[in-house]
Structure 1
Amino acid sequence: MTAKVIDGKAFAAGLREQIKLQTAAMIAQGITPGLAVVLVGEDPASQVYVRSKEKQTRETGMNSFAHRLSAEAPQAELLALIEQLNNDPAVNGILVQLPLPAHMDEAAVINAIRPEKDVDGFHILNVGRLATGQKAMVPCTPLGCLMLLRDLLGDLSGKSAVVIGRSNIVGKPMAQLLLRDSATVTIAHSRTRNLPELCRQADIVVAAVGRPNFVQGDWIKPGAAVVDVGINRTDDGLVGDVDFAAASQIAGAITPVPGGVGPMTIACLLASTLTATARANGLPDPEGLTP
């Protein structure tokens, strides 16, 4: 058996086209969505990522606002900028690129963003709302994973899912989103006992543990859906958290690295910006872009 390779790049391209159409409809009503991205420091990977966000934001017809601070900027300067963006009606979404320099308190910065403009979904109020089943801004990578799984499997109700990873960015919100879709969810991690056995019972495996080729092929239940969130730089290039070559011989479907989950993240950031804009203006949530 050879797994279907889930083409996240193609799915993200289609998603961006949907966003572009819905953005045009919003602009026709006199409302232009705006996304502000803040980069502190000069990390090369972050710079590339931020430029890509800005480019894709403009391509969908949204306004893109870029703000760059030096790595030595005091936290007070960043907080003042966030407050300015919070109060700017042209800005519907605010994203502060992580990681931040060591002298800054990441939680304090995230929680300074107004929750309704927190398109990363990291604000403590959005985390709580997601956990309690309320309407929330949702982290972009888990939202992208959910969209891919729904497209692949349709109804997730009753499916057995194992999420490997317990981060606030991917693992925990991914589990909450799967629970919302009535999947039966186990949160596991690198120290979980009998992890291979747990995975072998799962219809869905989401790997977000940050270890190259950590999930072995013989951990996968035949026909299962495998979503690999990992991006690990090795001597052999970029690899995921799943041994793709081995797992693809057993799984029913699997995301590649690169080209799987990665392209979905920015597309879902744009989806969240559109959602935030709709909510700020009393409009219904955009169709097909929310959990």
Structure 2
Amino acid sequence: MTEVIDGDAVAADVRDSLGDAIETLKREGVTPGLATVLMSDDPASETYVSMKQRDCEEVGIDGVHVELDTDAPAADLYDAIEDLNADDDVHGVLVQSPLVEQVDSREAFRTVAPEKDVDCFHPENVGRMVAGHERFKPCTPHGIQKLFEHYDVETEGAEAVVVGRSMIVGKPMANLLIQKSDLGNATTTVCHSRTGDLAAHTREADIVVAAAGVPEFIDGSMLKEGATVVDVGINRVDADTEKGYELIGDVEYESAKDVAGKITPVPGGVGPMTRAMLLWNTVKAASEQTGVDVEMP
């Protein structure tokens, strides 16, 4: 019987478990603060930012939102980020992607102070993670690790395949899986758009993390019996629904569910964990910046 991994439930547990740490900080006069920065007219980005701000309010984190005109020069964005870097009440800064074309996203991420880089995009934080001494873990891979922990997914000695090599998910996920850690020690293969025979790799995998952004391109015939399947994809496709679309993953869910031992749905799988771990990173950042020790769950 395939076990469906409930990301909504685990994310709720993570948010609840942050309560003690947030209260400890507040007793010392520190309220964790997260700033979101938006320079885009992308409706999905606006929705994501709104959801993140709502998450902050629900757990007791101060949310600050900075929105810039999409026609403004890139320098305005960099200046706004520097202002947030200098604000002692802001402990985490998240620059929402995608950005407008006149902005070099790499420069924007480099402008965020490393100690406030709760997305873990700054080169310093990426390097620390690769070296095994991370300041923060990227939110989505960290959230997947939390799902593994909650659902007793054994990574040590497992054959893992990560499909996709983005800086946001694919590369950091592969790196965390190979680390010497309780949630690492996997033999990990990274597949991508130039991989010759994707199915030859995924059929041998005990763990498959699909993060390529291609709707339903992995199906049950490409999976090993009993594999853990983590679907990071969130693809909007036309559908005969009230909204006119539906969200589907990178995995063809129905056929994969017949083969997998454990599987994440879309929506309700990885997405809620990404948002929960952003809160986790913000609380950790507040603790480290203020010197108030807290126990991170």
User: Under TM normalisation by the shorter chain, which class is it?
Assistant: over 0.9
Greater mean deviation of Cα atoms: 184-193 or 238-247: 184-193
Residue 258 of structure 2 aligns to which amino acid in structure 1? Q
Moved over 3 A (4+): 283-286
Q: For structure 2, which runs of at least 5 residues remain unmatched after alignment?
A: 240-245
Return the offset for 1:154.
Answer: 4.9
Give, in whole Å, the separation in 2 of the partners of 1:22 and 1:222.
Answer: 41
Q: Residue 94 of structure 1: SS of its match in structure 2? A: strand
Deviations 1:32-82 (A, max 9, x none): 110011111332111111111111101111111111111011111111111
Deviations 1:134-191 (A, max 9, x none): 1222211111111111222254211111000000010000011111211111111132
Residue 141 of structure 1 aligns to which amino acid in structure 2? T
Give, in whole Å, the separation in 2 of the partners of 1:42 and 1:192.
Answer: 34
Give, in whole Å, the separation in 2 of the partners of 1:77 and 1:227.
Answer: 38
Residue 45 of structure 2 aligns to which amino acid in structure 1? S
Return the offset for 1:4.
Answer: 0.8
Q: Check whether the contact 2:24–2:294 (CA below 8 A) recurs between aligned residues.
A: no
Residue 281 of structure 2 aligns to which amino acid in structure 1? S
Q: Check whether the contact 2:211–2:233 (CA below 8 A) recurs between aligned residues.
A: yes
Of 214, 223, 232, the residue aligned with 1:220 is 223
Residue 106 of structure 2 aligns to which amino acid in structure 1? A
- 1:1-291 to 2 correspondences below 5 Å: 2-180=1-179, 181-236=184-239, 237-284=246-293, 286-288=295-297
Q: For structure 1, which runs of at least 5 residues remain unmatched after alignment?
A: none
Percent identical across equivalent pairs? 47
Residue 185 of structure 1 aligns to which amino acid in structure 2? T
Q: Check whether the contact 2:14–2:276 (CA below 8 A) recurs between aligned residues.
A: yes
Q: Check whether the contact 1:164–1:209 (CA below 8 A) recurs between aligned residues.
A: yes
The number of residues matched between the two structures is 287
Residue 123 of structure 2 aligns to which amino acid in structure 1? I
Give, in whole Å, the separation in 2 of the partners of 1:239 and 1:135.
Answer: 32
Q: Check whether the contact 1:34–1:273 (CA below 8 A) recurs between aligned residues.
A: yes
Greater mean deviation of Cα atoms: 37-46 or 61-70: 37-46
**Superposition TM-score, scaled by structure 1 size:** 0.95
Give, in whole Å, the separation in 1 of the partners of 2:197 and 2:294.
Answer: 41
Give, in whole Å, the separation in 2 of the partners of 1:20 and 1:209.
Answer: 34
Query: Could you say what the CA RMSD is over the residues aligned between the two structures, in angstroms?
Result: 1.3
Judging changes above 3 Å, is the alpha-carbon distance between structure 1 residues 129 and 159 closer, same or farther for their aligned structure 2 residues?
same
Give, in whole Å, the separation in 2 of the partners of 1:155 and 1:23.
Answer: 31
